[in-house]
Every structure is written in C-alpha cells, then in structure tokens.
Amino acid sequence: MGEAKRRARLRAEAAAFVKPLKRARFEIMAIGTRRSPAFFMAEELSWWASKDERLIAVVARDTTDNDYLWAILARDRIGCFRWVDGMTSLRSQWHAEEALAFAMADTVKNKDVAALGHQGDETNAPIDLLRLPTDVDPNTLHPYFRQVLESPARAPARAVIREIGPWLTPNDPHLVREFQGRSFDQRLWEIYLWAAFREFGLDVQQLEAPDFRCTAPGVDFTVEATTAAPSGMGPLAAHPDPKTKEEMTAFLADYMPMKFGSALLSKLEKKNKEGLHYWEREASRDKPFLLAIADFHKPATGKELGPMVYTQSALWRYLYGHRVDWEFIDDKLVINHHNVEQHQFGAKVIPSGFFDLPNAENVSAVIFSNAGTLAKFDRMGVVAGFGADGVRYIRAGFRADPDPNAVVGKHFVDDVTDEKYEEYWTDELQVFHNPNAKHPLPFDVLPLANHHLLQDGELKSFCAPGTVLSSYTVILVPKGTEQPLGA
C-alpha cells in the first residue's frame, strides 16, 4: 500500500508539469520529426506536452514486440522538435504514460530545456518563411502573404507555416523571397505537397529538379510541382469569365483543359542543360515519376469563388481524352462514356489525352488538389488549436455522395472550431493514374488519397469516406476588428 500511495503522490506532482496534447497539435509541431519506418514500427496511442509546450511527447505500442514505449521531443537550435529521451519495453499503455509523466516532470524541474534538444547537426541557415529580408521592398509582398504576416485572423496559418519552415531544406535559394512575393501561390502549393507527403508517412527530400523525392521502406518516387497560372499573353489571356450554365460547360470543356495542358506539357517537354527529362535524371531514373498540379489561374474575389474549386472535371477530360454524361433510365443512373479528340479556344487547338502523348508514359500519375491554399493552412491550424480568439472559421462545400444514383455531391457546412471537427492534409488529394505508365504508381503508396483511372474504356474512382470534392472557407471576425475574409 505504501508503494501505491507513493506512486499516486508522484503522479499528482507530475500533473502540475504535464498535460495531454491533441493529436492534431502534435502532428503539426512534429510534422518533420518521424522517419518513415516509425509508421510501421509503432502505433501511437496518446500525445503529451509540458505546460509551456517546450517539450512534447508520445506514447506508442511497439508493433513488433507488442510492448509499449514513450518518447520526449524538444526543439533543436532551429526550432524543430527532435527526440531527446525515451523508454521502451513497458508492459501497458498505462505504465508507459505514468513513466512518461515522471520523466517529463523531472526534465522540466531539473534540466535545461532550452538546450536539451540541441543536436549539433542543425543548419546554420534555417528556413524562416515569415522573416522579411532586410532589403525587401514592402510593395513587392504578395497580398496573401501580407495577410499571413499581419492579420490576426490568419494566426492559425501563421502558426502552421512557422512550424513547417525549419523542416524545409530546399535546393532552390529563392523559396522564401518567392513565397513572400509574386509566386506565393506556387510556393504555398509546394509547401502543401511537402506536408501531405509527410502525412502519408514518407521521407521527403527536396531536390533542385524534380522538386521532391519521396521514400519509405519499399517506396521510392519523385514529383515535380506545377500550377495553372494566369495567362498574360496569347489566346488564353482573354479569360472567358463564365457566368451562365452554357458558358461554364464550354469553359470546362475547352479553356480549362488547355490551361492544365499548357502547364503539364511544358513539364513533359522540359530538359536540363544535359538534355535530360525529369524522369531521366538520377533521382528519378527507373522509378515512378509524378506531376502535381494546382489551379491558380484566376484568384477568388469578394463576389465569386476562385475557379480551383470546380475545375477538376476539366483535368479528367484532358488527361484521359475522355468525358462522361449521364441519364436516368428506369430510375437508375446510367453513365455514358465518350472519347474527346481535341480542345479549342478561339484559334488555338490542342489534342486531348495527355497520357497518350509521346513521352507521357514516363509520367506515372498526375496529382491534383484544390486545397493547397491559405484556407487549408488556416483550417489545419484551427484543428491543432492555433485559432485566433473570437474568430470563427466556417467551411462549406460538397462531399462525395456514396449513393449510386447521386450525380452531385452532398452539401455540407462545418464549423472548423468545433472540437469534433477533423481534417487532414491529404483529404482532398486526387491521384490520376496513367494507364500507359512505364512505372505504375501502386495505390497503397498514397493511402486514403482519392485514386482515379481509366479502365476498360471507363473512368473509375476510388474515394475515401467523406471525401471533400470542393469547398470554401469563410473567416468571421469580431465586429470592428477587421473585415471578414474569404478563401
């Protein structure tokens, strides 16, 4: 009984130094910590932090030995959470959590937490996406970046970007300046992809070109990111700005496939100074190579959404040279499939079917998401507990409807600040598989993504439950503080 009372007293004392941590918050703070084998070797069960969150910790079950362990993380010299202490071979989750609480309390009371995480291998020039260069012209800052930097309502995105930055190790020296300036959308898309690949349990190496090499046990592929950007000249500079149903149909049938095609074709044809395509370079050779595209060709305004929320169907059409329509026969939905030969806007004509073009067999798949946006970073930050006081984040859109007769998604409206609300980086990620791929990408490499393919002349989709097809986020701020923001 004496031992039991002693341990109870120690647990009570430790509670003054330790608190439970939401998994979503741990995931943001430790987004770059785990190496890929950890996802196979351990099942994480609970997450913890010191009261001031200078230490975070996890309790897990060893999937090989079926015993339990804990690990404590502290920030290194550049702000990344790194392993500093741990214990294995504990007989239950309860015993692991008790031992962790004792260890964390002792660490806080008796050790130099500020120096505890210093590893000796930190870079001397960490990435700080929010720090302005001393010579920056404020007039060159992108308006969205100014929101991140200055708006109280953007505190969630600001916190997430601050946590991600030190983990980035780009070969491109222009990342920070371009993220803060004219290429904000394109750079945010790359940062989103990095976060999504990490959530898939992959080790991510940032290369000069292609942009990413993703590895894990039995997994190795590369990715080049691109965007559909505004056209400043040429036939596509005259944006159709569709308003009616008929105009929207024509816009998605021809203009948008050509926008996607312009970006993808330039990557398909691009060679380096040695004359090598992306898939011929050392990091990509003899393995799957992917292109990742997002639509930033026209920004949202105060009166209308950005086209990215509804242009995915145009990407389907262009990649596969295929379209569908539907009808009800005897109250049953019937899908009709049609080949598409070309796309035309004004005098410009391009062939359809990107995956059928010469050399396209070297592109294993095309990744798309309409969520690589500032709104996504805000929502992920809110879910992790970084929300701004008094600010509400409302998300509305359409989710996939499992009803076999459904022709549109299910409408939803979610309060992102609700404790029950969940969201993940990979929720909206779409993977379009190339039926002609020389090195096909296995579905299980990107689990829980939404996978699409053309099989036996029919387009088929495999979607995770609750998949969001499109959405927008409205940020409501207290009256008199700042104007409502939409993204």
Residues 61 and 148 in one domain: no
Res 483: pLDDT: 52
Q: In Å, what is the CA distance from 172 to each residue of 169, 190, 226, 343, 417?
A: 9, 12, 15, 35, 36
401 CB-contact burial (10 Å; exposed 0-12 / middle 13-18 / buried 19+): middle
Residues 278 and 417 in one domain: yes
Res 484: pLDDT: 47
Q: What is the mean pLDDT of residues 203-212?
A: 96
Structural domain boundaries enclosing 407: 127-487
pLDDT in tens, 32-75: 999 999 999 999 999 999 999 999 999 999 999 999 999 999 99
Residues 461 and 408 in one domain: yes
How far apart CA 53 and CA 67 sit, in angstroms, is 27
Instruction: Determine, yes or no, domain membership for 121.
Output: no
Domain count across the chain: 2
Instruction: Determine, yes or no, domain membership for 38.
Output: yes
Instruction: Determine, yes or no, domain membership for 278.
Output: yes
**Which one of 116, 136, 151 terminates a domain?**
116
Residues 181 and 216 in one domain: yes
Q: Which two tokens stand for residue 440?
A: 């096909």
Q: What is the mean pLDDT of residues 317-324?
A: 88
SS (H, E, C) 131-173: CCCCCCCHHHCCHHHHHHHHCHHHHHHHHHHHHHHHHCCCCCC
Residues 209 and 275 in one domain: yes
Q: What is the mean pLDDT of residues 189-211?
A: 97
Q: How many CB atoms lie within 10 A of CB 348?
A: 14
Return the ∠ at Cα 319 (arms to 314 and 324), rounded to 5°: 55
Res 485: pLDDT: 53
In angstroms, the first-to-last Cα distance of the chain is: 59
pLDDT in tens, 420-460: 999 999 999 999 999 999 999 999 999 989 999 998 888 88
More confident position, 1 or 356? 356
Res 1: pLDDT: 52
Residues 75 and 42 in one domain: yes
Is the model's pLDDT at 481 over the cut of 70?
A: no
Give Rg (Cα) of the chain. 24
Residues 79 and 186 in one domain: no
Percentage of residues in the chain having pLDDT higher than 90: 72
pLDDT-derived band at 234, boundaries 50, 70, 90: confident
Residues 234 and 349 in one domain: yes
Q: How many CB atoms lie within 10 A of CB 201?
A: 18
How far apart CA 27 and CA 179 sit, in angstroms, is 23
Residues 271 and 408 in one domain: yes
Is the model's pLDDT at 312 over the cut of 80?
A: yes
Instruction: Determine, yes or no, domain membership for 122.
Output: no
Closest CA to 411 of 481, 468, 463, 359: 468
Instruction: Determine, yes or no, domain membership for 270.
Output: yes
**Which one of 86, 116, 146 terminates a domain?**
116
Question: b/e per residue, 73-112, with b = 16+ CB within 10 A?
Answer: bbbbbbebbbebbeeeebeeeeebbbbbbbbbbebbeeee
The DSSP element (H or E) to which 338 belongs, if any, is strand 332-339
Instruction: Determine, yes or no, domain membership for 396.
Output: yes
Q: What is the mean pLDDT of residues 310-315?
A: 90
How far apart CA 215 and CA 201 sit, in angstroms, is 9
How far apart CA 279 and CA 282 sit, in angstroms, is 8
Q: Does residue 71 contact residue 86 with C-beta atoms inside 8 Å?
A: yes
Instruction: Determine, yes or no, domain membership for 306.
Output: yes
pLDDT in tens, 256-306: 999 999 999 999 999 999 999 999 999 999 999 999 999 998 887 666 777
Which residue's entry shows tokens 């709104």? 375
Res 408: pLDDT: 82
**Which one of 97, 116, 135 terminates a domain?**
116
Residues 234 and 149 in one domain: yes
474 CB-contact burial (10 Å; exposed 0-12 / middle 13-18 / buried 19+): middle
Instruction: Determine, yes or no, domain membership for 274.
Output: yes
Residues 134 and 106 in one domain: no
pTM over 0.85: yes
Residues 310 and 274 in one domain: yes
Which residue's entry shows tokens 């260069």? 133
Q: Torsion angle, CA of 83/167/418/390, rounded to 10 degrees? A: 110
Is the model's pLDDT at 124 over the cut of 90?
A: no
**49 strand-pairing partners:** 19, 56
Q: What is the mean pLDDT of residues 184-191?
A: 97
Closest CA to 145 of 102, 94, 187: 187
